[in-house]
Amino acid sequence: MKNILVVGSLNMDLVLQMEKIPSVGETVLGDGLRYSLGGKGANQAFAAGNLGGNVEMLGCVGEDSFGAKLVRNLASVGVDVGHIGRSASPGTGTAVICVEKSGDNSIVVVPGANKTCDEEYLRSNDAAFQKCDYILLQMEIPRDAVEYAVNRGKELSKTIILNPAPAPAALPQDILSKVDYIIPNETELSRLSGCRSDSENEMEAAARKLIAAGAHAVIVTLGHKGSVLVQKDTLERFPPIQVEAVDTTAAGDCFCAAFAVALADGKTPAQAISFANVAAGLAVTRPGAQDSIPTQAEVEERRVSERGRKEAVRAEG
């Protein structure tokens, strides 16, 4: 198993449950409120550790109890947390997450200490870049830090996986061309490409626009519709597993981490996407961010039962 370096955010999530996410100007009564460990970077590092990866995380928390809990949770699944930065001020990043009955959510992140995960901090942790084989990135840390990590990773010939979340309006060609796999959801794809991505044709055209702008492989996560891999001359679809969605928070994070772990384990991109679809499918059946991430054994068990189900359907047909 090769080594994965996750560079990204760590947040304490304040999760509000409600029937329907309010529109602008509307007040609704909520059904519940709880704290949950999150942050796209930390969720991906936790998931990669829980799914059997060799993982180190670079990111920053505050010198407060939220930060301590986040770091402890990562260490509990074997993530190397030895170089996570701690800032006296600002405190650990936080996110307010509204989750509605359907399982869909909307999120506001207040970055806090994630802002100190900057180029200078990454430069001072160059050993982590040298040691790893895969670099997994999102966009909840300063933009120059993301670009530095992509450039440094490429200089060292590492495989770079970028989850462009939250999505910027565009990414420079120079950065896109250094990313081996870019993994947006439909909303992120639409924002990044400047094109609609509602229908399948629109989604493919938007992904192709990123490829024309330098991306090598675009993996679009489509929630209950599974995912697709778009490359220069091909498009492959990967069906989801059938589940009852409770909370979609961190499902994308789980997907990216599972994809990275499977690649690091020597799987092909297509095999890695199938594995990631199952892991992300299981994550939506549970509430929370890191709380919802399945173990490697749970994913393997579900893969076995999926194979059995498909064989039974084939035998019947």
Q: Which residue of the set 13, 247, 253, 291 is catalytic?
A: 253
Piece in contact with ligand RIB (CB under 6 A), picked from 180-188, 192-200, 218-226, 249-257: 249-257
Residues 133-152 that bind ligand RIB (CB under 6 A): 140
Q: How far apart are CA 211 and CA 189, in angstroms?
A: 12
Give the nearest distance from C-beta 55 to ligand RIB in angstroms.
Answer: 17
Give the nearest distance from C-beta 162 to ligand RIB in angstroms.
Answer: 14
Q: How far apart are CA 300 and CA 278, in angstroms?
A: 9
Alpha carbon 32 to chain centroid, angstroms: 25
Contact 42, 11 (CB under 8 A): yes
Alpha carbon 66 to chain centroid, angstroms: 21
Contacts of 286 (CB under 8 A, 6+ apart): 246, 247, 292
DSSP state of 223: G
- CA atoms in the 13 A half-sphere facing the CB of 316: 6
**What is the dihedral sign for C-alpha 74, 76, 82, 88?**
positive
Alpha helices, H only, 135-267 = 143-155, 173-176, 186-193, 200-212, 251-264
Residue placing its CB nearer to ligand RIB in the complex, 273 or 280 = 280
Of 6, 60, 109, 257, which one interacts with ligand RIB (CB under 6 A)?
109
Active-site annotation holds for 144: no
Nearest-5° Cα angle at 243, 263 to 245: 100
Give the nearest distance from C-beta 293 to ligand RIB in angstroms.
Answer: 11
Piece in contact with ligand RIB (CB under 6 A), picked from 75-83, 123-131, 195-203, 245-253: 245-253
Give the nearest distance from C-beta 161 to ligand RIB in angstroms.
Answer: 15
Cβ-closest position to ligand RIB: 38
Tokens of 40: 């796209």
Of 80, 100, 186, 253, which one interacts with ligand RIB (CB under 6 A)?
253
The strands making up 3-7's β-sheet, listed across from edge to edge, are: 54-58, 3-7, 134-137, 159-162, 181-182, 217-221, 227-231, 234-238
What does the per-residue mask of binding to ligand RIB show for 38-67, with x meaning CB under 6 A? xxx--x------------------------
Alpha helices, H only, 213-291 = 251-264, 269-283
What does the per-residue mask of binding to ligand RIB show for 191-230, with x meaning CB under 6 A? ----------------------------------------
Give the nearest distance from C-beta 297 to ligand RIB in angstroms.
Answer: 23
Residue placing its CB nearer to ligand RIB in the complex, 52 or 112 = 112
Site size toward ligand RIB, by CB under 6 A: 16
Q: Does 8 bind ligand RIB (CB under 6 A)?
A: no
End-to-end alpha carbon distance in the chain: 39
Which residues are known catalytic residues?
253
Residues that bind ligand RIB (CB under 6 A): 9, 11, 13, 38-40, 43, 95, 107, 109, 140, 249-250, 252-253, 289
